[in-house]
Structures are given as structure tokens and as C-alpha cells.
């Protein structure tokens, strides 16, 4: 989304008590120190001049800011750990402005003062942002007493109060009421940006406000553009070229006109664009490290390729962002981390379940998935 700060916005109703630069607009001024300490990292962070350093990385594998989880664009200056580690490099980088954010701030979105947290204490540091309701890694403004988390992009969006979007002529204003998102059709979000004109019905949910204008697809040499309206076709049928599912003609999508390629935003960006899938994270209730995976229920009934597994904590099939242990061949819902009551009982249940879930020796198959003894998915006896 091409967000422009609305200059006409008068500041008499200032929503925040501390001003800071928006997280995703970073510019180095002449007085930037070459090296700075940052509370979130054990080594000093060096200023990398984006103009001088020729970036070797492919845009797909670009550098991500560990603060806001947004990419650091080519040519953009940033701060990075340059410590020559013996084991493995830190791979820790921050937008210049993300490195300057205040440690504490008060935002009217929450009644208590918020603390800048480098990593939430859940598996993989994943938290749920209060404003966009997305799962995210990276820094957050958090209230420990209330389990309140706000990702950095949302904190800067909230601070702006008004934005301009090139899909609509008028200014959009932050609002607490979403009726229906003009981009994706969702109605079940708590916040949105809506047109200031009473005559317009244009509203965007926060995740749609955050959609980048351009994304890359590994099988297309051209960049894909965020597109607001489908060109009418004779069949009146619109499909996604990635999932082959139907696209709603009225919803935003990404397209490449040269290749006649069109797709759902979720299909190209993933359902959890603020989370780095994979990895190896410590899980408090499991003896091995786990990876973060996105498990989707297949749209095709009885799809043999569907590899959903039951969660040992709640016995429901694991869908969405889940923790996976390849050694044990199990998935665990991430949400249990956030509602970890009755842990004793659930642990007992999990132990019981382990007797029924086969634990194969790890194979050297290149496939990420191992087969259960009953075929492609593990089955759990009904009355445990």
C-alpha cells in the first residue's frame, strides 16, 4: 500500500504522547553515528549506507528488519550487526528508524504505558497484534499486565491517524468500526481506515492497508502489482493462478499483465507475512525444538495430500500457524501458548496420546513429511 502522510491533517487531536518516525520510512541523516548500542542486541549495530553497499541479495531473499519484519529495500540505509561470529552470523538488522524507537510510550489504544519488547515470550517470539490481529514476530509495543501487543507497523499507522491510498480519492481515517473491507470483504476486524467523506463507503481493514504495492513471485520475472479492480471477462469467472481457487472480482489481488497472471494476496505473500516460517525454536512443553509451519485444510474433499495432524493438547486437527516437531512427527497449536491454563490436565492427555501416535525413525526422505502408519495422516482413537 502506498501510504502518504496527509499534510492537511491538523495536529490538535494528537493521538500519541511521543512522536517518532514511522517504522517503514527510513532515511539516514548526516548525523547518524557509525556504531550504536541497541538494547535488543548484544553487539553494536553498524550503519550500512544503502547507496554505497551493492547488495548481492536477490529481492526474494532480501534483508528483513528484525524490528518491524518488513523488508529493507535496496539502496536504503540501515543498521546491522557486523560482528564476525565464529558459529553463525547474527543476521540482525534494523531500519534506521526502527532502531530509534522509544523504549516506552503511551498510546490511547491501550490504557497503560507500553514497553518496546524485542521478542515476545511465546514460541518463536510470535505474538498477536492488537490492531491488525495478525500473528507477528519482531519487536512489539507491549503491556505485560494485559497481554497487549502492537507490531511496529501498526504503531506507526495508528500514530498517523490518516492516510492516502491510491485506490481511493479521499483521505482515509483510523476508525474502530469495520463494516466490510473494500479490499478483501472481511467484516470481523476491530479496526480499519475509512473514508472521511460521509457519502463514501470505502473502508480498509488493517492487513489490507499493509499490503505492499509490489511483490515478487519466484516463477515470474516481473514484479506483481497490487491491483484494485478486475478487468471484466466474458465468462465472468476469476481465478487465482496459485491456488486455482475462485477470486472475487471486487477484491484486490496481485497481477502481472505481461504474463496474464493473477493471484490472491494471501497466496503470494503467505497467510502469515509477518512470521518467518520454518526455523528451530524452543518449546516449553516439548523436549525438541520445533519449526513454525502454516497448515491449510485442502479445498478438495478427502484430499490424500492433506497432511493435517491432531494437536496433542486439544485433539483438534492442527490448521493455521502451528509448531511442528519433525522428530516426533507431531504438530501443536500455537494458540495454546496464549491460553495455557489447565496445563496439568493437558499434559496428562498429551502423554496418553503419545501411546497412540506412532513415532517413526526419521527417514532421509527429502519430503518434509513422514507417513503415519494409517496412510498420509495420523489418526487418533476417538475415546482417549
| Between 206 and 308, CB nearer to Zn ion | 206
Give residues in contact with Zn ion (CB under 5 A). Answer: 43, 65, 67-68, 81, 83, 90, 95, 98, 112, 129, 131-132, 143, 145-146, 151, 154, 170, 181, 183-184, 195, 197, 200, 202, 205, 208, 240, 242-243, 245, 264, 267, 288, 325, 327-328
Contact between residue 319 and residue 296 where contact means Cβ atoms under 8 Å apart: yes
The nearest distance, CB 67 to Zn ion, in angstroms, is 4
| Between 262 and 383, CB nearer to Zn ion | 262
List all residues 6 or more positions away from 146 whose beta carbon is below 8 Å from its beta carbon: 110, 112
| Between 304 and 354, CB nearer to Zn ion | 354
Residue-level length of the chain: 384
Residue with cell 494409517: 374
| Between 60 and 244, CB nearer to Zn ion | 244
User: Phi, psi (5° rounding) for residue 268?
Assistant: -90, -35
Q: What angle do CA 31, 33, 34 make, to 5 degrees?
A: 130
The nearest distance, CB 18 to Zn ion, in angstroms, is 17
Contact between residue 50 and residue 76 where contact means Cβ atoms under 8 Å apart: yes
Q: In what order do the strands lie in the sheet with 104-105?
A: 104-105, 114-117, 140-143, 148-151
CA distance 37 to 44: 5
Q: What is the DSSP letter of 378?
A: -
| Between 308 and 357, CB nearer to Zn ion | 357
| Between 219 and 383, CB nearer to Zn ion | 219
CA distance 380 to 317: 10
The nearest distance, CB 298 to Zn ion, in angstroms, is 13
| Between 99 and 308, CB nearer to Zn ion | 99
What DSSP letter does each residue of 136-181 carry, written as one string? E-S-EEEETTTTEEEEHHHHHHHHH-EEE-TTSSS-EEEES--S--
The nearest distance, CB 208 to Zn ion, in angstroms, is 3
The nearest distance, CB 214 to Zn ion, in angstroms, is 18
Amino acid at each position: 500500500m502506498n501510504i502518504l502522510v496527509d499534510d492537511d491533517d491538523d495536529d490538535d487531536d494528537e493521538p500519541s504522547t511521543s512522536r517518532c518516525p514511522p517504522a517503514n520510512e527510513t532515511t539516514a541523516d548526516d548525523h547518524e553515528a557509525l556504531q550504536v548500542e541497541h538494547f535488543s542486541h548484544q553487539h553494536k549495530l553498524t550503519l550500512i549506507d544503502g547507496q554505497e553497499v551493492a547488495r548481492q541479495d536477490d529481492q526474494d531473499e532480501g534483508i528483513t528488519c528484525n524490528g518491524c519484519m518488513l523488508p529493507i529495500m535496496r539502496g536504503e540505509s540501515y543498521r546491522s550487526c557486523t560482528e564476525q561470529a565464529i558459529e553463525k552470523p547474527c543476521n540482525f538488522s534494523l531500519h534506521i528508524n526502527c532502531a530509534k524507537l522509544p523504549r516506552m510510550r503511551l498510546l490511547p489504544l491501550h490504557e497503560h504505558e507500553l514497553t518496546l519488547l524485542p521478542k515476545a515470550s511465546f514460541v518463536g517470539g510470535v505474538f498477536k497484534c492488537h490492531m491488525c490481529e495478525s500473528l507477528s514476530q519482531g519487536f512489539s509495543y507491549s503491556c505485560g499486565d494485559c497481554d497487549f501487543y502492537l507490531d511496529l507497523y501498526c504503531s506507526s499507522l495508528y500514530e498517523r491517524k490518516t492516510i492516502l491510498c491510491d485506490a481511493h480519492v479521499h483521505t482515509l481515517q483510523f476508525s474502530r468500526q469495520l463494516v466490510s473491507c473494500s479490499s478483501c470483504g472481511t467484516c470481523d476486524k476491530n479496526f480499519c481506515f475509512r473514508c472521511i467523506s460521509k457519502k463514501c463507503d470505502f473502508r480498509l481493514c488493517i492487513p489490507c492497508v499493509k499490503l505492499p504495492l509490489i511483490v515478487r513471485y519466484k516463477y515470474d520475472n516481473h514484479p506483481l502489482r497490487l491491483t484494485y479492480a478486475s478487468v471484466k471477462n466474458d465468462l465472468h469467472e476469476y481465478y487465482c493462478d496459485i491456488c486455482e481457487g475462485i477470486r472475487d472480482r471486487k477484491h484486490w489481488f496481485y497481477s502481472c499483465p505481461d504474463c496474464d497472471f493473477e493471484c490472491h494476496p494471501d497466496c503470494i505473500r503467505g497467510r502469515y507475512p509477518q512470521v518467518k516460517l520454518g526455523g528451530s525454536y524452543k518449546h516449553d512443553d516439548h523436549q525438541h525444538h520445533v519449526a513454525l509451519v502454516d497448515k491449510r485444510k485442502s479445498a478438495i474433499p478427502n484430499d490424500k495430500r492433506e497432511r493435517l495432524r491432531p494437536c496433542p493438547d486439544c485433539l483438534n486437527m492442527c490448521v493455521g500457524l502451528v509448531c511442528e516437531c519433525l522428530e516426533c512427527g507431531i504438530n501443536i497449536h500455537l494458540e495454546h501458548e496464549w491460553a495455557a491454563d489447565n496445563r496439568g490436565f493437558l499434559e496428562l492427555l498429551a502423554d496418553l496420546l503419545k501411546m497412540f501416535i506412532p513415532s517413526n525413525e526419521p527417514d532421509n526422505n527429502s519430503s518434509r513429511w513422514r507417513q503415519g502408519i494409517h496412510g498420509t495422516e495420523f489418526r487418533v482413537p476417538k475415546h482417549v
